[in-house]
């Protein structure tokens, strides 16, 4: 009965979902989920092991982008990179967390949209430079900042990098996703230009900029009630 | 070819093997033997993975997962670099400290902008298949030497610093690969076919609103499950996009495709399965709550998804 779809492998999805909710160690959860899906699809143990091995080898490039910057980032942090970033940003009197993060979001989208996706990134930009800057300004805006609020602001910096990257890179004609779309559509006899796929990414990109900017403002309003106005007036 | 991605696998493999040795020699480390074995297996997969049978690598991966999953892999204790020293250095070196941070993207940009197949003589410089990663890799190594020159330290100090940061991440560094691999195994087991069939066979797609809803939400949901919009796209596009939205409702294919992929990206913002974007940053920032980045992204993700839904409904 080849035409009947086998729904049992969905059990694998159920396993990983339940495990994430129950906060079971993700490494064990992944092994349990892939064994479940594999056996439900009636794959042999050897076949499953081969899939694990080839999948893990194929995805080694994911780890490169995190690991390679660590040596230089660690070295510069030891010699005061974060402290310098904080000193630099607090020289701007009018700077707020929202202004900094929205400018970063816009620049990240803009540069990604012309293919410069490596201007930014979590290990080399957010951890050593942007997150410390956000913390320093936040402390200026609200000296009573709790540790929890501090964490929320750091997470917001990381989120801003992701959103800027995702909703910028898709506008770039030579980006892999655009080529992947065109190839898939071509195979199904729908012929579209790379450029028109890229251009149709722009409306969503604009909404992403507006929506996440609003989000940044709302976090700022929640965590950093407006003290800065009074402070600058005093000067 | 002068630069290929395999060379950077070797570099990372050597780095991981060095860390395995340092961990083994670290007498203050509470679980130094098992932690060291974990890093050694990971190093071997980078160093000689291409020459091992896939099933053997599979067994090694399961061994790593069991070691990490049973709490036998933890980071060593490191002294944070002294704060007053850091502040003095920050004053002393000033904005020169940013030069290495700028070097990485600069080199990466040059590598990506080189014309495809750029060569000197008969020697092609960069493998065009992974130009960005190779560019970042060359940039990182150059930046390390520049950084060492600026701060008057030895480049090998970078290895100790890498170990300090890597110990903070500990086994979480493997999560992106584990989850991406899980996505591939799900695909091979037919999870994608099952979800596609469930979405398209049991729902009446004759109403434009229902079709648009299933298409946009399907992309996001599927990406949340598989952790990768590129896996979701062919299933949902083949199941709903082409037959219903494009053929039946006559929508502009480029628009449907672009908005569909970006709806998948909204899913990426909301799933722990995309660990390199969502879990690793939380670990890099040393956040107490590993899910805080996802939690922060969910409101924006839902907002952008709604915008896509409205855009697509109006434009068809």
Surface of A (16-35) touching B: CB under 8 A:
16, 20, 25-28, 30-31, 33-34
pLDDT for the residue A234: 44
Which of B182, B285, B307 is opposite residue A30, by nearest beta carbon?
B182
Query: Could you tell me if B310 lies within 8 Å of chain A, comparing CB atoms?
Result: no
Please answer whether residues B2 and A54 qualify as being in contact, where contact means their C-beta atoms are separated by less than 8 angstroms. no
More confident: B294 or A114: B294
Instruction: Region of B120 please: left (phi>0), alpha (psi -120 to 50) or beta.
Output: beta
Residues B237 and B309 in one domain: yes
Residues A78 and A126 in one domain: yes
Are residues B304 and A207, on separate chains, in Cβ contact within 8 Å?
Answer: yes
Please answer whether residues A56 and B61 qualify as being in contact, where contact means their C-beta atoms are separated by less than 8 angstroms. yes
Convert B91-127 to b/e letters by CB count within 10 Å (16 or more is b).
Answer: eebeeebbbbbebbbbbbbebbeeeeeeeeeeebbbb
Could you tell me which residues come within 8 angstroms of residue B52 by beta carbon, excluding any fewer than 6 positions away? A53, B44, B45, B60
Are residues A196 and B98, on separate chains, in Cβ contact within 8 Å?
Answer: no
Residues B200 and B149 in one domain: no
CA distance, residue A2 to nearest chain B CA (Å): 13
Convert B25-40 to b/e letters by CB count within 10 Å (16 or more is b).
Answer: ebeebebbebbbbbbb
Residues B305 and B195 in one domain: yes
Q: Over its length of 316 residues, how does chain B's per-residue pLDDT go in tens digits? A: 788 889 999 999 999 999 999 999 989 989 999 999 999 999 999 999 999 999 999 999 999 999 999 999 988 888 777 889 999 999 999 999 999 988 988 888 888 777 766 777 777 788 877 787 888 899 999 999 999 999 999 999 998 899 988 988 899 899 889 988 998 898 889 887 888 788 777 777 788 999 999 999 999 998 998 888 988 898 899 888 998 899 999 999 999 999 999 999 999 999 998 998 999 999 999 999 989 999 999 999 999 999 999 999 999 8
Which domain does A54 fall in, by range?
A: 10-58
Are residues A79 and B153, on separate chains, in Cβ contact within 8 Å?
Answer: yes
B161 inside domain: no
Query: Could you tell me if B48 lies within 8 Å of chain A, comparing CB atoms?
Result: no
Residue A2 has pLDDT above 50, yes or no: no
From CA B24, how far away is CA A181, in angstroms rounded? 47
Tell me which of B108, B131, B155 is where a domain ends.
B155
Q: Can you give chain A as a three-state secondary structure string?
A: CCCCCCCCCHHHHHHHHHHHHCCCCHHHHHHHHHHHHHHHCCCCHHHHHHHHHHHHHHCHHHHHHHHCCHHHHHHHHHCCHHHHHHHHHHCCCCCCHHHHHHHHHHHHHHHHHCCCCCCCCHHHHHHHHHHHHHHHHHHHHCCCCCHHHHHHHHHHHHHHHHHHHHHHHCCCCCCHHHHHHHHHHHHCCCCCCHHHHHHCCHHHHHHHHHHHHHHHHHHHHHHCCCCHHHHHHHC
Query: Could you tell me if A158 lies within 8 Å of chain B, comparing CB atoms?
Result: yes
φ, ψ of residue B120 to 5 degrees: the values are -110, 120
Residues A39 and A98 in one domain: no
* Complex prediction ipTM: 0.87
From CA B58, how far away is CA B182, in angstroms rounded? 12
B234 inside domain: yes
A5 inside domain: no
Which domain does B297 fall in, by range?
A: 190-315
Residues A24 and A140 in one domain: no
From CA A134, how far away is CA A150, in angstroms rounded? 9
pLDDT for the residue A227: 52
B114 inside domain: yes
- Which positions in chain B touch A4 (Cβ < 8 Å)? none
Residues B151 and B195 in one domain: no
Q: What is the dihedral of CA B21, B22, B25, B28, to 10 degrees?
A: -140
Please report, rounded to a whole number, the percentage of residues in chain B having pLDDT higher than 90: 59
**Taking each helix axis from N to C terminus, what angle separates B131-151 and B157-169, rounded to the nearest 10 degrees?**
120
Residues B196 and B300 in one domain: yes
- Which positions in chain A touch B199 (Cβ < 8 Å)? none
- pLDDT class of A45 with cuts at 50, 70, 90: very high
Surface of B (188-247) touching A: CB under 8 A:
188-191, 193-195, 197-198, 225, 229-230, 233-234, 237-238, 242, 246
> Considering its fold, how many domains does chain B have in total?
2
Mean pLDDT, rounded, for A170-191: 84
Query: Could you tell me if A194 lies within 8 Å of chain B, comparing CB atoms?
Result: no
Residues B203 and B136 in one domain: no
From CA B298, how far away is CA A104, in angstroms rounded? 19
Mean pLDDT, rounded, for A14-33: 90
- Which positions in chain A touch B254 (Cβ < 8 Å)? 192-193, 196-197, 199-200
Residues A102 and A184 in one domain: yes
Indicate the SS3 state at residue B94: helix
pLDDT for the residue B126: 82
- Which positions in chain A touch B109 (Cβ < 8 Å)? 116, 118-119
What tokens appear for B194 in the block? Answer: 């099952």
Query: Could you tell me if A102 lies within 8 Å of chain B, comparing CB atoms?
Result: no
């Amino acid at each position: 009965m080849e035409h009947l779809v086998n729904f049992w492998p969905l059990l694998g999805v159920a396993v990983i979902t339940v495990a994430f909710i129950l906060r079971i160690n993700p490494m064990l959860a992944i092994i349990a989920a892939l064994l479940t899906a594999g056996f439900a699809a009636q794959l042999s143990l050897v076949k499953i092991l081969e899939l694990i091995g080839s999948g893990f080898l194929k995805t080694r490039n994911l780890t490169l982008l995190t690991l390679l910057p660590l040596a230089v980032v660690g070295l510069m942090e030891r010699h005061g990179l974060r402290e310098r970033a904080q000193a630099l940003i607090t020289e701007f009197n009018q700077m707020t967390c929202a202004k900094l993060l929205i400018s970063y979001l816009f620049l990240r989208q803009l540069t990604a949209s012309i293919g410069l996706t490596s201007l930014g990134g979590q290990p080399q930009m957010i951890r050593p430079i942007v997150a410390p800057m956000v913390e320093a300004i936040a402390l200026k805006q609200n000296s009573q900042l709790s540790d929890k609020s501090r964490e929320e602001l750091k997470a917001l910096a990381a989120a801003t990098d992701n959103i800027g990257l995702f909703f910028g890179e898709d506008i770039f004609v030579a980006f892999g996703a655009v080529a992947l779309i065109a190839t898939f559509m071509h195979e199904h006899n729908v012929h579209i230009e790379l450029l028109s796929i890229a251009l149709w990414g722009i409306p969503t990109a604009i909404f992403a900029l507006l929506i996440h900017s609003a989000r940044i403002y709302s976090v700022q309003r929640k965590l950093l009630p407006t003290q800065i106005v009074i402070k600058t007036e005093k000067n | 070819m002068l630069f290929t991605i395999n060379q950077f696998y070797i570099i990372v493999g050597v780095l991981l093997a060095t860390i395995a040795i340092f961990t083994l020699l670290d007498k203050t480390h509470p679980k130094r033997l098992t932690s060291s074995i974990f890093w050694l297996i990971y190093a071997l997969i980078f160093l000689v993975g291409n020459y091992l049978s896939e099933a053997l690598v599979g067994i090694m991966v399961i061994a790593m997962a069991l070691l990490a999953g049973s709490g036998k892999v933890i980071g060593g204790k490191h002294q944070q670099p002294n704060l007053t020293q850091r502040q003095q250095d920050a004053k002393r070196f000033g904005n020169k400290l940013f030069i290495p941070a700028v070097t990485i993207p600069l080199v990466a940009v040059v590598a990506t902008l080189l014309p495809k197949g750029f060569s000197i003589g008969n020697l092609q410089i960069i493998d065009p298949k992974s130009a960005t990663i190779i560019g970042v890799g060359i940039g990182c190594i150059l930046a390390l030497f520049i950084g060492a020159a600026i701060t008057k330290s030895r480049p090998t100090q970078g290895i100790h610093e890498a170990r300090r940061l890597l110990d903070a991440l500990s086994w979480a560094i493997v999560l992106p690969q584990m989850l991406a691999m899980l996505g591939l195994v799900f695909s091979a087991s037919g999870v994608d076919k099952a979800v596609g069939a469930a979405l398209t066979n049991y729902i009446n797609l004759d109403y434009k609103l229902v079709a648009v809803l299933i298409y946009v939400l399907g992309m996001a949901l599927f990406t949340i499950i598989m952790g990768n919009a590129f896996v979701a796209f062919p299933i949902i596009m083949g199941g709903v996009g082409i037959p219903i939205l494009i053929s039946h409702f006559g929508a502009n294919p480029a628009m449907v495709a672009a908005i569909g992929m970006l709806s998948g990206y909204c899913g990426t913002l909301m799933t722990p399965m995309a660990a390199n974007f969502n879990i690793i940053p939380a670990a890099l920032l040393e956040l107490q709550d590993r899910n805080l980045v996802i939690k922060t992204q969910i409101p924006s993700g839902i907002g952008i998804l709604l915008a896509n839904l409205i855009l697509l409904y109006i434009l068809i």
